[in-house]
Every structure is written in structure tokens, then in C-alpha cells.
Structure 1
């Protein structure tokens, strides 16, 4: 990407179709997961960018600095305008971020608990203050939730995404929950946009996404199901791109009510569920059994961490210690079908727990239909695919939101004052390696407490037509429609 700006036509042209698996669920509210869809669409951009190599890079801001322990300054590019022609100046940026702070349901990465004030100090400088020292602010503003939109985007009851972004593609038409039509932004600050136009289709069914990229109906498809991998590997017209991602499949256990308020019961289930069998039979070897929340090759996993041993006899012994007769247990397991493998995973868990005499009933549906019960704690157990760097690209954001007593996404209702105490002080540690040691300590405790059952560390599979050029899967699955994306002859 040409960071010197000076956009214009001059690309290779053509129209590209991209199959995305998650449709917008909150009318493009940036505090929600919808922000990630706008980033993948090449519309929404942020002040900083989490690069493909894991390093933080300039995006709408050219530089930033911490001027005192609780104050950060960001210097903006002076050659950027929103797609409707209005300038992206410090007032517009501060307004966008302050709008995010006022959200009724705060964003996990950027909310009033971690951000105190945002103000424009001159035309090209934005100052962000925090309640206490926070070394993660540059990572927080790289989150899609902290994307910058024109003031006009916020004037109605819902976010207006037409012409209010800064990215290489402008949304010109939306078919609700079906597609976005996008045109190249000829005035893009980052240089020439290679494509003329693109369409982002929301295709929930994984097999359909795989079929469409194989037939050429789509040029790029995200989230190819494991069941379709072998077929696509054998197709010379399709390039299959597979990578490990910072994402773990978790069996959430509701710690706030019986039987999972007893750690012995949770630990029993740890030994009763065979994660290796799930990886082998359903994921066809993609991914690996989880050793806790973080993948074993990450700097946040405890040294020598291993998955819990599959041991049905130990599971029975732990239930006996808890005074629980497994035949008295009846559990409803939520499994959303947005992740096509979850139906099969739920069936395997149902069968494995059935060996102990535990009755498991499965309830499926789209994530948006199940989310109210998840957020409200109205469930026994639930499968969840959770990215531990998706909110902030360091585990503090994930741990604070998911595993502190008052965490904003603590679906399992896990609450341990010791964990809260340790995490309260983690962001005061300036040295990144020292913070990593704390994350590993917490990961070890979550695994030993069986706060949830960590099942597998996921891989991601993308399918592309052979004609696609300039596409590289992002490790956090952020960027898809970029200025460099092209269709070859």
C-alpha cells in the first residue's frame, strides 16, 4: 500500500465477490462485531493497524506517543478525506471515538472503563487519556470497534455506512443481511485501488461458501468448513489458504448455577470430554487440542502446558467427590450453527458425557438467536469460538472481559478475587515480557479451575479462485478487500 497517498483510478479493474460468514447483527453499530465486517469490506479504517507480521503500523494516524503515564497523542494523516468528501480532521476523529464511548453496550476494546477522555488538541492531533497507565492504547485504537467514520454516519438512529468511511472501498448499496455492493474509492489516501468494484455476500452456510468458491461464483470465501477441505485441496482452480489463528473453541460452563458452580464437577467434565477425538474426527486434523485459553506456541501459554487427560474413571471419581450422581444431571448445550462444525462437536460431547450417564440436550440456531441467553446467563453449557486477540491484540483485553467478576463478556460467570487482583495491576507493568508471564499464570489457573473447557486451538481456512491476486489471510481475520486486491487474467 502506498502510504504517500495520491489515490486514483489506474488499477487492473474488475469485479470481485467475497463470501463472508457473519452477517451484521447490530445495524453496523461499531461497538459490536459488525465493525469487523466493515473492516473486511475495505470500508472502515482505524488510527493504527495490526500488521500481518503482528507489528503495529500507522494507518489513519502517522505516529503516536505516550506523553505521560495516562496520556497518549496521535498525529493524523493530513491527506485523508471521508468518502463523502469531508475532511478527516481531529474534530471528526475525536467525535467518532467519543460516540463509541457513549454506546449503551460498550465495546470490549474501547470503553469508559479504560478510556477517560478524547479531545482534539489541534487540527491534526488527538489526545486520549486513560484512568490509569495503559500501554495497550495503540492496540485499542487498532481494534475494528475503534474505526473512524464521518460525522454524518452518526446523525441517525443507526450508523449510516454509505459514503462515510475512509477505506479503499465505498459502500454504495446494502441488501440487509444479504450483501454489500462496493465501489473503488478513487480518492483513496493509500494509493490506487486495483479493483473497480466488489460485492461482500453474507453466506452463513459453510458448504455453500465452499461450493461458490469452487464454481467461481465467489472469488474469496472465509471459513471453509473442515468437511470441505479435502475437496478444495484437490481442485486446481482453487487455492486453499490455511493458517493457525488466535482463536480457541470453548465449552462454556455456567459457573453461577448448579452443577457447574462446583469446580469438581467442571473438572470431571474436563476429563470426560476427549478433545483429541474431536480434532481428529470433526476438524480433520486442523487445529489442535487446547492446553488452556492460549495456543502452546504463543508467549502466553504456561511452559509445558498440555491438554487435560481423557480419563472417564477420573471423571467418575471427581463427580463422586462432589456428591453428584451423573444420572441426575441433565444439561442443555447451546451450539450455534454459524460455525458449521459445532453441530457435530455438540453431538460428540453429548455421546462422551452420555458414557457417564449425563443427559445432554442440544439446542441449535444462529448465534444472534442464542446470544440473549448467553449474555443473560440463561444457559447450562454452550460452545463458543472465541478470539483471544480479537478485541485488543494482547490477552489483557480478553482476560479482563471474559474472566473477571464484572467482565463485560464474562459469559461463564467465572469469578475469582485472586484473578481480579492480578489482572487489575497487569496494565501497570510496562515490560511486555513481564506481562506475558502474568498472562501465562492466569491461563494456568483457568485451566486448573476448569473455568470453562478449552477444547481446541483453531485453524482458519480461506478459499480463493486462482485469478485472485494480492490476497493474504490476516492472522486476526481483519483485512480482506484491500487496495492491493486484484483479479488477474
Structure 2
């Protein structure tokens, strides 16, 4: 075991509070050293979203840490969306509220062992975070160490999908020293993944070195140089000119500029939606929400803006959620569309995903044709999220991965559309919605839970608080020299032990 290493920070950044053959869990497939026994080259990676929360493991930044191979949880999602072993090698349900997880032998990047006590500290920290991680929305859990390798996790109410929940990037397990500073959690040198953060330069770049003691084996790449490039054209140009090896979220307008061999298109569980502010302003009126929904032509967005690299919106869950199409039911409770008569609204979106401003521009035209007066506001996501959650805008266009937080379709509904939801951009508080989601959360059987989720989806869609626009296919730019990229439909992973150049 190597001695702990002091990380080098270039900025005071942390002081404040597959459905494809490449998709695999850590330790699977072609991990380890390069075939010739030598260290692999460093990977140069461009990510679309800069950190917005000081790389906190609890919020949006948790996905950055997961995609770069820094953090891991007790479980992971496999290619079929089921819970798979990660830091926990196995688990069993003891009763309707209690589960016992058995830990594998692993070490943190600071050289300390992954112990039951350390896992308990991590889970307690997540439960006390403000805001709470999306995976814990509406869930209260306690954890206790059981012997040398056991962790018992108990929930206040029965939670049949707890192993899926624990796979969330927001429930990563870090070393105890990560939680020592009150009000902040430091992932630098305290995680368990195959790559360790060593340098962070504000919101523009980060450097990672290979973690040689990873339980799944040594990564083939010796490290990662990550750049956060919000502009999609700039990401594509950097790949095309050889400045980077791997670029996420290539804009559809730039896809044709890359060699066919450098493009990887992956169907994802991400849906772009129009979310309408139900708490205040014009769209507090359900009939005007219905008018906005009726004004939208999703086919234009899929075929025009996305140039065929997306499917027209069918619901909250898209085609990549393979069971949803056959089970979907008609929305219930919709009211008749009213007349906008020049009602003035502010429509907001962000430019980190380059299609979104164009989608919003087309929506603006469609809404204006229906009689609304629309002011469009576009910002970087980091400067937009807090205002959106506060209800500053009348309407918001965003892209959301329906299975990112937990892998459980019901958890998304609880987080995004219930009165107490932590990511409720529509500010929806509807008793019928809350009851439908609660009914779904109580169902343990997989097939029946899916049925209940779609019944709740029908109630949510009936409020017209959300208008699904398109279901995205993500284009990843991959240099010809790079192999082993994790093309993950859940968008939780990108590089792993087998990623190399």
C-alpha cells in the first residue's frame, strides 16, 4: 500500500461549503496495465459542465467525479440497470426496512482502509447534507457497522430499491478525513476510484493520477488531464485538432465535422423537457400550461434542431428506458387549453448543452405563434440553477437523465415533481401527484413498480407542468487512438480502468 500523498491545489477551490459493449463495472473486462507492461499515456478529456458546487459529492458535481473515475459507492448500475457490486461485494435484505451489505477489501486514496465505520460516516454525511442528495429525497436512513465487513442500513419506511439508490453518484463513499471540515466535503485524495484528483484549477481544469491500489486493478491510463469546456463547438474543435482525446456531448451541428470513426452515438435515458412554473406567474393557470403544451411541435425539435439524433418526446421516460413504451398510459386530468392573449413569459435555458439554446429559440417561436409574448434568457448552468429552483422564470428548458440519480424511475418523480422534491424546477405541489408517487414508492415487485411509475407519470403529465420535448442520443467524440471508453446510457461513467490511448 502506498503512503498518503498531499494533493496540490492550484486554486482555493475546496474551501467552501451501456447498452454497448464498453459499458462495464470496475474490475470487469480489460482493466490493468497496458499489454506491453508499461504505463499507458495520460488521457486528455473535455467535459461539458464545469463544477458548480466546489466538487461536492452530493449535487450536480457528483456526476463529474463519477464520470472521471474518482468516486464509487457501495453499488453500481450494470448494463441492464440493475444494482451491481462496487465497494459492497454482496448484500441481502433482512426485513422490509433493513439490508446488510458486505464490503470487499479496498482502500481509500489516502491509504486508509474502507471499513464499515468509514461507510457509516459517509452515509451519515450524505443524510445531513443541505440540500440532501437527490437519491435520498424523501428517504431517511441510518447505518451501523456490523463486524469487520458488514454495514446494516435501515430505512424509516420500506425501500425495496435501496441497492439501486446506493449506486447514485451522490452517495459515493469517501475517507473519513473528507468530512473533517465542517460544512464542506473534500474529494481530493479521499475517494476509492481508479483515478485520484491531484490538481484543481478553479472551474477550468483538473488533473488526476492513476490510483495504483484500486480494488479493481490498475487503470491502463496513467492519469487524466480534464478540461471543462462549456462551448460545444470548442470541444469538437479541440478533438478534431488533436488537443484532446475524448470529448463528451458533441453538438449535433458539429458531428459532421468529425471523422465517422471519431463519433460514438449512444441512446440515453436523458429527456429534454419544458418545465412550467406552477407556483407563480402566467403558468400558475393550468389552462395556460395546456396552451403552451399544445403549441409545441416535438417533431420539429427532433428532426430539425437535433438533426435526427433524438426522438420526439413521448413521456418523462424515453426509448432507452426499454420497458416504458409498452406500459405507458394516457395522461389524466388535463384541462382545456386557454387563450394566451399576449401573456408575457420569460423562457430560460443554459448553453452547456449546445442544442438547448436552439431548442429554446424554436420553442419561443412556437409559443409566440400561439399568442404568448416570450423573452428568452440563456446563461451558463452554474449561473442559472439557483434562479430556476427559486421560481425566477416562467418556463425552463432543461435536459434531465431520468435514471441518473438512483436508477429507479420512481425516485426521479419524487425528486422532480412532488411538493418536497429537491429538484422540482416546475415548483409543482399537487396532492394527486404526491399520492401517485407515494403509491409507486411502496411497490417492491419490479414489473409492478414500473406500472406504478407510469401511472404516476400520467398524473404528472396531466398537470402540464412538464412537456417532454425530445429523448436524446448523446454523441461522444473519441480519438482514433483511444479505446475502452464507457458509453453509458445512464451517463454516470466515461473513463474507467480499461480506458486507454
Q: Output the TM-score relative to the length of structure 2.
A: 0.89
Question: Against the structure 1 CA distance between its residues 302 and 45, is the aligned structure 2 distance closer, same or farther, given a 3 Å change threshold?
Answer: same
> Aligned partners of 1:215 and 1:271: how far apart in 2?
44
Question: Against the structure 1 CA distance between its residues 61 and 39, is the aligned structure 2 distance closer, same or farther, given a 3 Å change threshold?
Answer: same
> Aligned partners of 1:336 and 1:153: how far apart in 2?
31
Of 308, 317, 322, the residue aligned with 1:298 is 322
Report how far residue 473 of structure 1 moved. 0.6
Q: Which residue of 1 aligns with 2:95?
A: 68
Q: Which residue of 1 aligns with 2:191?
A: 165
> Aligned partners of 2:80 and 2:111: how far apart in 1?
33
Of 394, 416, 429, the residue aligned with 2:443 is 429
Alignment of 1:224-303 (within 5 A): 224-232=250-258, 235=259, 238-296=261-319, 298-301=322-325, 303=327
Of 233, 242, 245, the residue aligned with 1:219 is 245
Q: Which moved more, 1:437-446 or 1:207-216?
A: 437-446
Residue 138 (structure 1) aligned with residue 163 (structure 2): yes
Once the two structures are superposed, what CA deviation does each residue of 1:131-159 show, in whole Å capped at 9, x if it has no partner?
11111110111000110111111122533
Question: Against the structure 1 CA distance between its residues 442 and 394, is the aligned structure 2 distance closer, same or farther, given a 3 Å change threshold?
Answer: same
> Aligned partners of 1:7 and 1:95: how far apart in 2?
30
Preserved CA contact (<8 Å) 2:72 2:193: yes
Q: Tell me the matched-pair count.
A: 471
Secondary structure (helix, strand or coil) at the match of 2:256 reads helix
Q: Which residue of 2 aligns with 1:373?
A: 387
> Aligned partners of 1:72 and 1:349: how far apart in 2?
47
Alignment of 1:456-471 (within 5 A): 456-471=470-485
Runs of 4+ in 1 over 6 A off after TM superposition: 6-9, 304-307
Report how far residue 447 of structure 1 moved. 2.6
Preserved CA contact (<8 Å) 1:94 1:119: yes
Secondary structure (helix, strand or coil) at the match of 1:57 reads strand
Residue 23 (structure 1) aligned with residue 50 (structure 2): yes
> Aligned partners of 1:76 and 1:244: how far apart in 2?
33
Preserved CA contact (<8 Å) 1:143 1:392: yes
Question: Against the structure 1 CA distance between its residues 2 and 254, is the aligned structure 2 distance closer, same or farther, given a 3 Å change threshold?
Answer: closer
> Aligned partners of 2:309 and 2:81: how far apart in 1?
22
Alignment of 1:62-141 (within 5 A): 62-78=89-105, 80-110=106-136, 113-141=138-166
> Aligned partners of 2:454 and 2:262: how far apart in 1?
36
Preserved CA contact (<8 Å) 1:333 1:380: yes
> Aligned partners of 2:399 and 2:175: how far apart in 1?
32
Once the two structures are superposed, what CA deviation does each residue of 1:282-302 show, in whole Å capped at 9, x if it has no partner?
100111111121115632346
Q: Output the TM-score relative to the length of structure 1.
A: 0.91
RMSD: 2.4
Report how far residue 342 of structure 1 moved. 1.6
Preserved CA contact (<8 Å) 1:8 1:187: no
> Aligned partners of 1:92 and 1:179: how far apart in 2?
29
Report how far residue 465 of structure 1 moved. 0.3
Of 76, 79, 101, the residue aligned with 1:49 is 76
Question: Against the structure 1 CA distance between its residues 287 and 476, is the aligned structure 2 distance closer, same or farther, given a 3 Å change threshold?
Answer: same
Question: Against the structure 1 CA distance between its residues 302 and 447, is the aligned structure 2 distance closer, same or farther, given a 3 Å change threshold?
Answer: farther
Secondary structure (helix, strand or coil) at the match of 2:135 reads coil
Report how far residue 54 of structure 1 moved. 2.4
- Mind listing any 5+ residue stretches in structure 1 that lack a counterpart? 308-316
Residue 336 (structure 1) aligned with residue 346 (structure 2): no
Preserved CA contact (<8 Å) 1:3 1:191: no
Question: Against the structure 1 CA distance between its residues 356 and 339, is the aligned structure 2 distance closer, same or farther, given a 3 Å change threshold?
Answer: same
> Aligned partners of 2:64 and 2:248: how far apart in 1?
12
Residue 441 (structure 1) aligned with residue 465 (structure 2): no
Preserved CA contact (<8 Å) 1:301 1:443: no
